[in-house]
Chain A
Amino acid sequence: MFNSRSVGGVMRGLTMSALVLLACVSSAHAEKFARIGRAATPSEIAAWDIDVRPDFQGLPRGAGSVAQGEKVWVARCASCHGEFAESPSVFPPLVGGTTRADIERGRVAGLAAVSENSKTTLMKLATVSTLFDYIRRAMPFDAPKSLKVDEVYAVTAFMLNLADLVPADYVLSEKNIAEVQQRMPNRDGNTTAHGMLDVRGKPDVSGKDCMRDCAIDTNTMLLLPSTVNGLNGNLAEQNRPYGSIRGIETRRSP
């Protein structure tokens, strides 16, 4: 219509433009920031919008078996994470520390006792969507986004099998992933009942602003262990070499 060279066409075009303008009046910014930004195309949105939510919004169709996943794992994942996703040598371990009782209960009992370094991903993780989403967008570490969707399903299935959440002959797909969610060992292990989500929230501790003769306990003072001396390099070389405050010499022989 806007390409018409006839007078009538031009008139119709003007009428349409006027209508468009009228429509824009209701949206002040759209008018104010004319010619800035454009509509995203469906293909562009599909290329970038790959996130998967806990309710599986965004999950692509596809399928992968535990056996297929093992092949991908050995080739692409095991060098960092270990053959059974248990290795702590490069990154914290992924699988381990969960029990059948945890699967029944939806809370990982071991979290109440372990140290930070021995926690595994499957102990902490409440939502299987996160596993799929992260592998798809960020793994393998040195070649992110190089796995096909079916390979992502397969690797996810392999890890779920290592954690005893699906059997060895399982084929994970968009149709049955919600069933797996019902078996995630720590699916009920998170809370948002805390003061650090709302800017007006209440801190855990209300400190005291005492100014004189305040109660302190000097009997239990913890010192920096001497074993760390030098681990962070020579502190003398991490402060200015002049002035009346210097870094302490903690030089280690090379």
Chain B
Amino acid sequence: MSVRRSVGRLLPAPENFIPDAVLEEISAQGLDASRRDFLRKSFAAASATLAAGGALAASDHPAPDGDMAILQPSAHSTRLGHPVAFTPYGSPSKHEANLQRRESPGLTRKRESSISFTPLQGLFGIITPSGLHFERHHAGWHDIDPREHRLMINGLVSTAKVYTMAELMRLPSVSRMHFIECGANSAMDWGGPAVPTVQYTHGMLSCCEFTGVPLSLLLEDCGIDKQKAKWLLAEGSDGASLTRSIPIDRALDDAIVAWGMNGEMLRPENGYPLRLVVPGLQGVCWVKWLRRLEVGDAPFATREESTQYLDLMPDGLQRQYTVIQECKSVITSPSGGQRLLDKGFYNITGLAWSGRGKIARVDVSVDGGRNWKTARLESPILPKCLTRFNLDWAWDGKPYILQSRAIDEAGHVQPKIAELRAVRGKRSVYHNNAIQSWQVSAAGEVMNVQLS
């Protein structure tokens, strides 16, 4: 059995099979080909040792008369388990601890004004668990007492009003599923592949069911001056009192003043007790800890739209108020930083979304974009919401380059990175909705690459 073949097969990783000296070398110099080869050899040796001692999990090495996981009664099937309400607010299994929100090094110096990314590589369907929703704070988060929270609406309205949470929650509510994507999602890869996994390339993306009162209803309750109203300022009650200008047609269309997320109240990190939900618009417009809305006849040129979230074009001109998140998709598994342990059947799965409406179609290529197959879209398929796609694939142990390409109901086709760069250059930051490429090596390792 060759080393490569053994890597392509077995593989519940024995603990500590890499000597410390090698770890230090990898740390200092990275993984080059010879070190990768060495790792494979040490891995194979460690596995052989363990297999000889019979220490591997039963399911991976069946005994002659069957699988010990079946033949031998398990502890959990022969003992009493925990009582009800043992964990009054449940938590994920201890076996799932690897899937966490994580920071990426070097992005910011202050953790109160920073980002944590959603582990898309391990999620199913379209809903982001509340505890894994990505974070972007500008002055840290607080756990605000809802009894102390107020929403004020002023500006071009007949009556400037104040609402308590109790009053807002008496109003007719809607519950809708929408994606939220930071305008800077995939920003690190504008110049070339820069981060290893889909958590860091695309993890400023989440999708939840939000419950709240339609913003249009509140604005009408205050008597919005529809003749003069052109923009809406939304303001948070955090230290940054973050403000963004929202075009009034977006505010009056499908925006929600929301308190609910996935059936529970918003998590504090996501704006508890009140946030703005502006479907299809970049995440910074979804103002958290929402305390004030001001109707105006002109944009407000706040910091988050005058020094940040500008799109610098090659000629030095800056695009301002680029709020719409465009048609995009990504394969979440197999994806960067992962390894296929065996040949054979795999489900290529991923997410597609568009700030301009529903997803109409997703195509998947395994040969770097030369040939495409249309993937299955799983229901529900909703406007401005993540859509899950799947495609059957049999891996034969050869190298491949996986890509997905979304098309939205307006007919917009997700572009290649080279096409975007031809217009916006390499120094752009926001609105990278390019096709993502994942290279699968013969050893089954998946790497972030870019094809022009």
- Residues of A with Cβ closer than 8 Å to B? 27, 29-30, 33, 36-40, 44-45, 48-49, 51, 53-55, 89-91, 107-116, 119, 121, 124-127, 129-130, 133-134, 137-138, 141, 144-145, 186, 189-192, 194-201, 203-214, 216-218, 220-233, 235-242, 244-253
Q: Does B337 contact A (CB under 8 A)?
A: yes
Measured CA separation A202–B243 after assembly (Å): 26
Q: Is the CB of B318 within 8 A of A124?
A: yes
Measured CA separation A49–B293 after assembly (Å): 9
Known: A190-B317, A216-B369, A221-B449. A239 touches B220 (CB 8 A): no
Q: Is the CB of B318 within 8 A of A199?
A: no
Q: Is the CB of A253 within 8 A of B23?
A: yes
> Which residues B395-452 have CB closer than 8 A to chain A?
405, 407, 410, 412-416, 418-420, 422-424, 427, 429, 431, 435, 437, 439, 445, 447-452
| Interface 9-residue window, one of B80-88, B126-134, B173-181, B193-201 | B193-201
Measured CA separation A103–B442 after assembly (Å): 57
Contacts of A27 in B (CB 8 A): 223
Query: 9 extra interchain contacts, Cβ-Cβ under 8 A, other than A114-B427, A196-B326, A236-B13?
Result: A36-B167, A37-B221, A110-B316, A116-B429, A203-B327, A224-B449, A239-B122, A246-B339, A251-B18
A-B contact pairs, 20 of them (CB 8 A): A37-B222, A54-B299, A113-B316, A134-B303, A138-B139, A141-B112, A141-B139, A145-B241, A196-B324, A199-B253, A199-B280, A204-B423, A205-B415, A207-B435, A209-B361, A221-B450, A224-B194, A232-B105, A238-B197, A248-B339
State the main secondary structure of chain B at its contact with A: loop
User: Which of B96, B327, B341 has a CB less than 8 Å from the CB of A246?
Assistant: B341
Q: Is the CB of A235 within 8 A of B317?
A: no
Contacts of A249 in B (CB 8 A): 13, 18, 39
> Which residues B341-391 have CB closer than 8 A to chain A?
341-342, 346, 355-356, 361, 363, 368-372
Q: Is the CB of A189 within 8 A of B415?
A: no
Measured CA separation A10–B291 after assembly (Å): 40
Measured CA separation A235–B13 after assembly (Å): 13
Contacts of A246 in B (CB 8 A): 11, 13, 338-339, 341
Chain B residues bordering chain A, tally (CB within 8 A) = 140
Q: For residue A226, which residue of chain B has the nearest CB?
A: B30
Contacts of B336 in A (CB 8 A): 224
- Residues of B with Cβ closer than 8 Å to A? 11-13, 18, 20, 23-24, 26-27, 30-32, 39, 95-96, 98-100, 102, 104-106, 109-110, 112-113, 119, 121-122, 138-139, 152, 154, 159-163, 167, 170-171, 192-197, 199-200, 217, 220-223, 233, 235, 239-243, 247, 249-250, 253, 280, 291-292, 294, 296, 298-303, 306-307, 310-312, 314-324, 326-327, 333-334, 336-342, 346, 355-356, 361, 363, 368-372, 405, 407, 410, 412-416, 418-420, 422-424, 427, 429, 431, 435, 437, 439, 445, 447-452
Contacts of B13 in A (CB 8 A): 236, 241, 246, 249
Measured CA separation A51–B420 after assembly (Å): 35
Measured CA separation A130–B243 after assembly (Å): 11
Measured CA separation A33–B361 after assembly (Å): 42
Q: Is the CB of A130 within 8 A of B247?
A: no
Q: Is the CB of A223 within 8 A of B451?
A: no
| Residue of A115, A127, A217, A246 ringed by the most chain B CB atoms within 10 A | A246
